[in-house]
Amino acid sequence: MKSPFDPQEAQNIVSRYSNIPPELALRVYTSRLIGGDPSLVLHGGGNTSVKLRVKNVAGEEQDVLYIKGSGLDLADIEPGGFVGLELEPLRKLKNLPALSDEEMENQLQIHKIRSSSPDPSVEVLLHAFLPHRYIDHTHADFILALTNQKKWKGLLEEALGAKAAILPYDPPGLSLAKVVSEAFGKDPAIEAIVVAQHGIFTFGEDARTAYERMIEYVERAEAFLKAKAPRRIIGIPPTGSPPPKELISAVARLNQAIRGTCAFRSPGGLRRKFFAEVRTADDLVEASLSPSAARWCSSGVLTPDHVIRTKNKWVFSPEIPPDDSGLKKIVKEKIDAYVQDYDQGFAEQNRFKGREREKLDPYPRVFLVAGAGIIALGFTRREARIAADIAEHTLRVKLLADEVGEYAPISESHAWDMEYWLPQQKKLTRIAPPRLQGHVAVITGAGGAIGLGIADCLMAEGAAVALSDIDEAGLRKVRAALVKKYGEGQMESFLFDVTDYGAVEKAFQEISWRLGGIDVLVPNAGVAHVARVEDLDPKKFDQVIAVNLKGTFNIIKAAIPVFRRQGTGGSVVVISSKNVFDPGAAFGAYSASKAGAHQISKIAALELAEIGVRVNLVNPDAVFGDEEVPSKLWELIGPDRMKSRGLDPQGLKEYYRQRNLLKVSVTAEHVGQAVVFLASEASSATTGATLPVDGGIPAAFPR
C-alpha cells in the first residue's frame, strides 16, 4: 500500500471548490482517497473530519467541526456531505460521566450549524475531543486482522511501533471518545490510535499528514502480516475463471429457496423480499470447504459498523442437495435455526439490559456455501452488494487472522448493542419501501416501446428488472434509456430466444444466479405478419405461432419450478392484444397466436393458483412509442395501415386516438401501470383476468 496523494490533484480540488474554505476542499480530497480503497473502508464505513474557524450568521467567529455525514460513502463524498457542528458545546460533554443514546442524538442535532445537513457520523465526540485539525478513521483490513485476535495487544505493538496507542474495545460514543482523548493526553507524541475490534485513527494539522499517517500505519500492519503469513493472499485476489454451468444451476436453485424462505410480512402486511448477490472467487470457494467454515460463520463481525449490513452471524450450508425437496428442507432447517437463535438472543439482551427495542427482522444476510462461496441478501440490490462486499473482506481477514494467531471478535453483547444503537440504525433507510421492492421481474420482448414502459414502471416501484430480447440493438436502446433514469444497478440484460425452451431455462438460471429468483413474469415477446389467409405463407404463420404462442408457453412453463422453490407465489402478467376479442383482416397469424397465448395463460391461471401464482393478461392497442424507442409492431404494420388510409405517421396516431371511446393516446406507460397493478399486492385476489388498455374499444370488451 502506497500513498496516492497528488499535490497537483489536491490543488485542482481546491480550485474546483473555490466557494468553500481550502481546508474543507482538502478534506474532501483525502476523504475520497480513503473511500476509493476498499481495503480501508467499505460502503459508508469510516469517517473523516476537519476543524475550522468560521463566522456564524451574526458575524461572530466560532470553531466548527466538519465531519462526514452518517452512512455517506467517502469514495464520492461532496462538501455537502460534511456536517458542521459547533465545537465548544460538544467538547463540554467530556465532563459528563455518561450520556444516553437519546441525549447524544439530541446534542448532535441541536449543535448542527445547518439544520438541513445530514446526520453526523457516530464518532463525532471522539473527533471533537481530540485537538488535531484533521482526523481520519478507517476499518482497514490489515489492522482488523491484528485487532481481532486473542493476543491483539502484543501483535499490534510489535507491528505498529511506539507511536501508536493500542486500546481495548469500547463502544462508540462518549466513553470511547474520553478514553481516546485520555490516551493522547498521556502521550501527545502518538500519531495513531488503534481500538481493538474497531479500527484505526490517525491525525495531523494538515490533510496530507493525517492521510499519509493512515497509509503508513496500515502499511506497517500489511508488512507484519506478510512476514507472518507469506502464503496467504493479501488484498482482493482475481475472481478466477467463470463459474461452471453446473454451479450456476445449483446456486440458482439455492438462491430461489433461500430468498423464498427468508421472505416475510412486515407489520403493515407488505411482503418483504430479498435480492441475492453471489461471490465465487477462488479463495472464497476454498474457504467454504475448510473444516473451519462453520466456525467463521458464527464468529461475528470484524467491526461493529458491519453488523447493520450483515448481522453478526452467517449461515453455513455444507451442501446443495440436487433434489428440490431436499433443498427446501435443508434451507428451511438452517434458516429456522438461525431465526430461533436470533430471537432468543434478542430477548436475552433486552432482559439483561432492562430495555425494550423494536425487533428488526431476524433473517440472515450472509450464507457461506460449501463449494460455492458467499451468497448475500439485501432488500435492494445495493444492500445485497454491500453485504456481499463486507462478507468477502470479513472472510479474507478471518483467514489472515487465523494464520497469525487466533481470531477473536467483539462480544455478542456488544454486537447486539451496535445493531440496535440509534445512531447506527439511522444509517438504514426508514421510509416505507416501494411496493415491489425486493421483487425480480422478467420482461421478454423488452427491446421496444412497451418493454421500456413496463420496465420503467416496475423499476419505479422498486423491482429489479431482467430485460430480454433477441434484438440486441433494441435491447441496448431500452437499457440506455433506463440507465439514464435509474442507473446501472437495478437491471440486467439477457439475449435469448423464447421459442427455444432450453435457452429459456438457461436464462432463468442466470437470472436467479444474478438476482436471486423470479417474482414477476411478463411475457411480452411478439412478432406480427400482415397477410390475408389466402396469401399467408405457412412458414410465416409457424414463425408467428412459435414466438407469440409457444414463446408464452415456454416462459410460463420454465418459471413454474422457480415459483415452487421460492414458495412465495408470484405473478404472471401476459401482454396480450385487443385483437384477441376484435381481430382485423390480414392479421390472422398475429390474432390467432395471441388468442392461443391468451387461452394457455388462462389454463395456467387455473393450474398455478394452488401455489399462489396469479396469471393475468393485459390487452393493449395502438401503442406507438417514440422516435428513440419505437414500437416494433407499428414499425412493421404502420406503413401498410398509413397507405390503406392515406395518412402520414401523425395522422395514423390521431386516427387510432379518435377510434377509442376515451379519445386518448395509449402509451407504453399506461401498459406499464397496468402491469404494476396486476403484479402488486393490490391485485392479490385477482387471477385469470383480462385488463384492456386501449382507450375503450367496444368490440374488444372482454366477454
The set of catalytic residues is 590
Q: In 3D, which of 90, 92, 140 has the Cα closest to residue 120?
A: 90
- Contacts by residues 470-477 (CB-CB < 8 Å, ≥ 24 positions apart): 470/495, 470/496, 470/497, 471/447, 471/632, 472/447, 473/447, 474/447, 474/448, 474/629, 474/632, 475/446, 475/447, 477/447, 477/628, 477/629
Residue matched to cell numbers 508488512? 223
Three-class SS state of 48: strand
Between CA 132 and CA 199 the distance in angstroms is: 18
C-alpha cell at position 165: 496507542
Q: In 3D, which of 423, 398, 377, 403 has the Cα closest to residue 303?
A: 398
Between CA 605 and CA 600 the distance in angstroms is: 9
CA distances from 459 to 45, 441, 672 (A): 28, 9, 10
Between CA 289 and CA 429 the distance in angstroms is: 36
Q: In 3D, which of 410, 420, 297 has the Cα closest to residue 349?
A: 420
CA distances from 52 to 21, 32, 133, 419, 630 (A): 9, 19, 8, 33, 56
Between CA 123 and CA 174 the distance in angstroms is: 9
State phi, psi for 280 to the nearest 5 degrees: -130, 35
**Sheet (strand 373-378) strand order:** 275-279, 373-378, 366-369, 315-317
Would you say 514 and 567 are in contact if contact means Cβ atoms under 8 Å apart?
no
First to last CA, the chain: 71
Q: Which residues of 163-180 are buried (b: 16+ CB within 10 A; e: fewer)?
A: ebbbbebbbbbbebbbbb
Q: In 3D, which of 557, 522, 524 has the Cα closest to residue 441?
A: 522
Enclosing H/E stretch for 573: strand 570-575
Between CA 235 and CA 140 the distance in angstroms is: 11
Between CA 234 and CA 211 the distance in angstroms is: 21
Three-class SS state of 695: coil
Q: In 3D, which of 205, 37, 72, 75 has the Cα closest to residue 135?
A: 205
CA distances from 663 to 200, 584, 623, 652, 695 (A): 67, 20, 14, 14, 7
Three-class SS state of 534: helix
Helices (H), 168-206: 174-186
DSSP states of 334-402: HHHHHHHHHHHHHHHHHHHHT---PPPP---SEEEETTTEEEEEESSHHHHHHHHHHHHHHHHHHHHHH
Residue matched to cell numbers 473530519? 49
Between CA 420 and CA 307 the distance in angstroms is: 10
Q: Which residues face 317 on adjacent strands? A: 369
